[in-house]
Structures are given as structure tokens and as C-alpha cells.
Amino acid sequence: RTRQADAESYLRGASYPLVVKASGLAAGKGVLIAHSAEEALEFARACFMGERFGAAGHTLVIEEFLSGEERSVFILADGKGYALLPTARDYKRLRDGDQGPNTGGMGGYAPADSPEWLDTVREKVIEPTLHALAKAGTPYRGFLFFGLMKVEGEPYVLEYNVRLGDPEAQIILPLIENSMEELLYYYRIQKLGELKVRLHERYAVGVVAATAGYPEAPQKGHELPEISAEEGGSKLDDHTYLYWAGVESDENGRLRTTGGRTYTVVGMGDSLSVARERAYAALEKLPFEGRYFRSDIAAL
């Protein structure tokens, strides 16, 4: 646990901008890019008092601010080898132009990078991480999510997550030709290093629709249009998918928002621009009161 006095002393003398994070789980929202000591101190005090994230904010991580493009890199590791899954670009900021507070993710696209850059990520990030875990006696098994910042072509690690991402999972999984059963079979027999991950030669763009007030004070209870609410996600047509998130059924069986991110629509296409057009076209068919979404996903 971070001592409040130590954190405040450091923040008063630091150079800005810098990044202040709640160390615990905060649904992707426990991060502030602070541009002044006053802004950082206000955030830190709210964390220590438990006003924002409860016990998750009692330990703070203070980091250098990096300017670049976010990348989400995913692998499935079996303790001996691993399979590299499609890489996505995630848009964390709430508003167009990468402005506003950080969120759990407002959209993204895949694939995001060249094979050459991914070779660099393998060499400098993925394999050193897996080697260190094995050397420590804890060989990693399962999905591993590397949250990276691409700065002048170099990968910088921001975070690790032992899961897939949201909305990245919705974006990357439709691009994989292999069945999930095949991936998990090779995982079970610890031969993922021998598996060729086959990808559809297409692009995927995902756009998140959230309720008004997200992420600080999201509104709830707004009725959603009548559409199939298949568990997990539904294929709207050959090129678009819908994945529900913060919704529930009322006493009449109608879907209503529960606050926060409500759904993700994913468009597929032979080019990034076509995939983007299809995602936004599907979005327009799913309105609800107070809906908010970014208009520049895969355009910025």
C-alpha cells in the first residue's frame, strides 16, 4: 500500500505530464494522464480516500507519460510455446481526437501492424516475458494481453492482463480461421508452438456505444431497440456482428441499459475503410436515449 504522504510529496515535485494509476482492478478506468500537480494530487487523494475505486486505489503506480499509438497484442500460451493472435489498436479516450478521460475502450480495429513490427514485439516483449516467468518457476498458461504503446516504431509495455481485451476480443476473434476448439486442443496438449494460426484476409472495426455520463456517472434504464439478444454476440449479417455488454431484460422482456458500455458493433471488410463503413452503418440501426460513441474509430 502506498503511503499518501510519499505519493503527494513525489507528485508536488514531479515533471508533467505523467501518468497516475490505481494499482488494483478498476475496469480500465483507474488511470489519469495528469498535466499538473494539482490534477494529480486531486486524483491521488480521491484514490486514497476510497472515493473512486475502493481498495483498488490504495496503492498507486506513477509512470512516465508516453505519446504514441496504443496496441493490444494477444497470445495463447501453453507453458512451453505460444500462438500469436491478431493485434488490435484500441481507442481508450472517451472523445474524438483522443480527448477526454480514459475508458475501458471505445473501439478499435485489427489487424493493426506489419509482420515485421510483430517480430520486434516477439523478440523484445513476448519471449523475454515468457522466459522470465518460466525461469521463476511459473511457466505461463492461458491468454496473455500485452498493452503496448508504439513510440517511434518501438514497443513499450504499459501493462499485462491475463485475459483477452474488451472490445479487442470482439474485434480479433472473427478474424481467426481456426476454431476455438482447435486452439484449445493444442493448448491442452502443449503444442501451440506447432500450430499455424490462420487469419481471414479481412479487416475488422469495432465501435462501442455507451450511455450518457460514461465513465464517471453513466445513466441507466434506457430502452433498447428490439433485436436478437443472443448470449455473447449475434451475427447481424455476413459482415457485421453485435456484442451486448451493459444490458438487462426488464419485467416485459425488453432490453434496457445498465450503465457504461452498452454494446459493440463490429464491421468486417476487405479494406479498413469498408469495415469501418459497415460498423457505423450497423450502429445507426441501434439507437437509444443518451447513446454516445466516437465517430473517428479507425479514421484517426
Q: What is the pLDDT of residues 174-201, one digit of tens each?
A: 999 999 999 999 999 999 999 999 999 9
Q: Is the pLDDT of residue 172 over 70?
A: yes
* Predicted pLDDT of residue 233: 53
HSE-up (13 A, CA, CB side) for residue 183: 19
* Predicted pLDDT of residue 229: 44
* Lowest-confidence region among 14-28, 32-46, 210-224, 260-274: 14-28
C-alpha cell at 115: 509482420
- 3-state SS, residue 280: helix
- 3-state SS, residue 65: coil
Can you give the pTM of this predicted structure?
Answer: 0.85
Full set of structural domains in the chain with CATH: 4-64 (3.30.1490.20), 69-194 (3.30.470.20), 203-283 (3.90.600.10)
Q: Is the pLDDT of residue 55 over 50?
A: yes
Q: Is residue 89 within 8 Å of 112, Cβ to Cβ?
A: yes
* Predicted pLDDT of residue 29: 73
* Predicted pLDDT of residue 1: 63
d(CA 62, CA 8): 11
* Lowest-confidence region among 25-34, 164-173, 263-272: 25-34
Nearest Cα residue to 234 out of 244, 248, 224: 244
DSSP state of 68: S
